[in-house]
Amino acid sequence: MKYLVRGFIAGLLAVLFLINCVDSKSPTEPLPDFIVADLVATHDFEWIFNGAGNSFQMRTGQSYEVRITNTDMHDAHGFSGIPALGMNGVYLPPGGVVTLVVMPTAVQVGIYPFSCSVECGEGHSRMLATIQVVQEF
């Protein structure tokens, strides 16, 4: 009986230890090395982030890989760039892919519009989109 009680207590302590390990893991969980943002320029004169919408939110202190693809197989487009975020403008030939890396800091919190920098056709002036930088939460 004595051993049974000791065994039970040891088991209980082991369970509590494991719960504590799982619990204490979440607040200190490291940020991912980088987050991929897929940005597509389309034949319909749109910018689309990650399959939906023309805006993307970044948080400060996080690194992002912005992969810009021109899925328009007929016309070139261009990413106008966001100098305030250190993102250069790039020319995107039909089917072209370019990756830009950015890690916003606290002084860069804000909304940054960008556009198409290549006269691509009748919808060119509609090719507007934004990146928003928010404080790390």
CB of 118 to Cu ion, least distance (A): 5
Q: Binding string to Cu ion for residues 93 to 132, with x set by CB under 5 A, is what?
A: -----------------------x-x-x---x--------
Q: Nearest approach, Cβ of 131 to Cu ion (angstroms)?
A: 18
In terms of Cβ atoms closer than 10 Å to its own Cβ (0-12, 13-18, 19+), residue 21 is exposed
- By the 8 A CB rule, do 127 and 45 touch? yes
Shortest Å, Cβ 22 to Cu ion: 50
Instruction: Pick the closer one to Cu ion by CB: 58 or 76.
Output: 76
**Residue 12 burial (C-beta neighbours within 10 Å; 0-12, 13-18, 19+):** exposed
Cβ 64 to Cu ion shortest distance, Å: 23
Q: Which two tokens stand for residue 109?
A: 């919190």
Using CB under 5 A as the binding rule, the residues of this chain from 38 to 57 that contact Cu ion are none
State the Cα–Cα distance between residues 47 and 65, nearest whole angstrom. 16
Residues lying near Cu ion in the complex (CB under 5 A): 116, 118, 120, 124
